[in-house]
Structure 1
């Protein structure tokens, strides 16, 4: 199959889906017995067997794909957070880790060109429908450019290595998926009905964007305290042809504060 913008974007969303599932397994957000192990780009990956988790991830990745098509996305984040406040009903959310994918260098393709590629791909297999049936049966990692496939494989292997080097997460952690939009004046947040996206909490908000209305001197410009984390660990740069993205993990301030608090508690003899 010819490698087009749309087919390569589909390969990326398949990779992103496997990346998220495997990350949930490696960081033990759900019981490991609830995952099944398979192979993707010739390396082991893990997939949740819980229907609700699978549906949520599939819908989230689909929503990400829609925004990638509009060329408005700068970064994608899988955010792991904790709401466990030691029994205090504060309702605050503590950012533990953010697994980042910088897609700001993805190619920008006009809508008309994307439609042309779709029509051309459908016209290739017009013989009797048998080729289309074969396409339905193909694995998600089939027909991927060999260089891109090797890069995906390396990123998944490195993800496993990096996660093994991270300190354990506290109990009762959960996750979500967020996007950071490009810092351009003509890019607006994805709003409408239904709304698959909502604004992130203030600690993960960026400052105003370029080309926007300038703030007065008496208006303080702040940036979310959880952006960037306290420790950043590179994972992998994936590059094949015009497609290029970088991955890394940011460990949040709250994670280190939690570790310090536990150490202090243990040294005082008050721990479990």
Structure 2
């Protein structure tokens, strides 16, 4: 049963979507041979899942690292980056979570409170969702349908991207909110990317500063507190990079 009635459950629901989406992207973009994937189902929808233990563990570890930062409310977006054999950015699959609510660590398990537009401001410390749908009233089947649509759109949109060269790789990246502390760990899970500067758009195909040639919208979700935008970006000069 999928629930988004508090922040912890919202992050869990999104992390599950992110995990399955990475498998779908790797299959659709042929990062690994099709024989390394098995048929599975998620949200009552057929998907492909990598079956190599080390690949599955790497993906799970990456999603767990994202989840840890999401629970701190420090993340603006998460991206799956497709890189050429020469480590140049070709495509970026973006999950924009900047509209997720910001919740105090002590309140991540507190139920969201829905405040109608005409209601007075809530003065309690309970996480609130103004001018939005009551999360407790969103049927499980509706949440599942919306998440299923993201996976379906990812598969369809990949057809528009064309075939990639052999031996491409991928990475997972995060962009943090302004003034958010860098993730800590020993050994470090995340590698700091080059600072882009305030005059550059944060919506770029990779943290290496490649410019965007084309953007393909995937899905926009507005399910109570789960306000999510997803899209694909192609790097400028992708064709040249593919043939170089």
TM-score range, shorter chain: 0.7 to 0.9
Per-residue deviation, residues 162-182 of structure 1 (Å, max 9, x unmatched): 001211111110001000111
* Residue matched to 1:251: 234
2:75/2:174 contact within 8 Å kept = yes
**2:111 is the alignment partner of 1:109:** no
**Deviation for aligned residue 1:43:** 1.4
Alpha-carbon distance change, 112 to 22 in structure 1, aligned in 2, over 3 angstroms: same
**Cα distance between partner residues in 1 of 2:91 and 2:175:** 16
* Residue matched to 2:187: 194
From 17, 20, 25, the equivalent of 2:19 is 17
1:159/1:235 contact within 8 Å kept = yes
Alpha-carbon distance change, 101 to 152 in structure 1, aligned in 2, over 3 angstroms: same
* Residue matched to 1:47: 49
TM-score (norm 2): 0.79
Say which one has the larger Rg.
Answer: 1
* Residue matched to 2:89: 95
The CA RMSD over aligned residues, in Å, is 2.2
Partner of 1:230, secondary structure, is strand
Partner of 1:193, secondary structure, is coil
**Deviation for aligned residue 1:225:** 3.2
**2:197 is the alignment partner of 1:207:** yes
**Cα distance between partner residues in 2 of 1:148 and 1:115:** 19
Per-residue deviation, residues 37-94 of structure 1 (Å, max 9, x unmatched): 111112111110000000000000000001001111101000010134xxxxxxxx21
Q: How many pairs were matched up?
A: 209
**Greater strand content:** 2
- Report 1:15-164 matches (<5 A): 15-84=17-86, 93-114=87-108, 145-164=140-159
**Deviation for aligned residue 1:115:** 5.0
Partner of 2:100, secondary structure, is coil
1:151/1:239 contact within 8 Å kept = no
The ranges of structure 1 where at least 4 consecutive aligned residues each deviate by more than 3 angstroms after the TM superposition are none
- Report 1:168-187 matches (<5 A): 168-182=163-177, 184-185=178-179, 187=180
**Cα distance between partner residues in 1 of 2:109 and 2:91:** 38
**Cα distance between partner residues in 2 of 1:68 and 1:173:** 28
**Deviation for aligned residue 1:29:** 0.4
**Deviation for aligned residue 1:105:** 0.3
**Greater helix content:** 1
Unaligned runs of 5+ in 1: 85-92, 118-143, 210-222, 263-272
**Deviation for aligned residue 1:208:** 4.9
**2:228 is the alignment partner of 1:226:** no
**Cα distance between partner residues in 1 of 2:59 and 2:43:** 20
2:81/2:171 contact within 8 Å kept = yes
1:148/1:238 contact within 8 Å kept = no
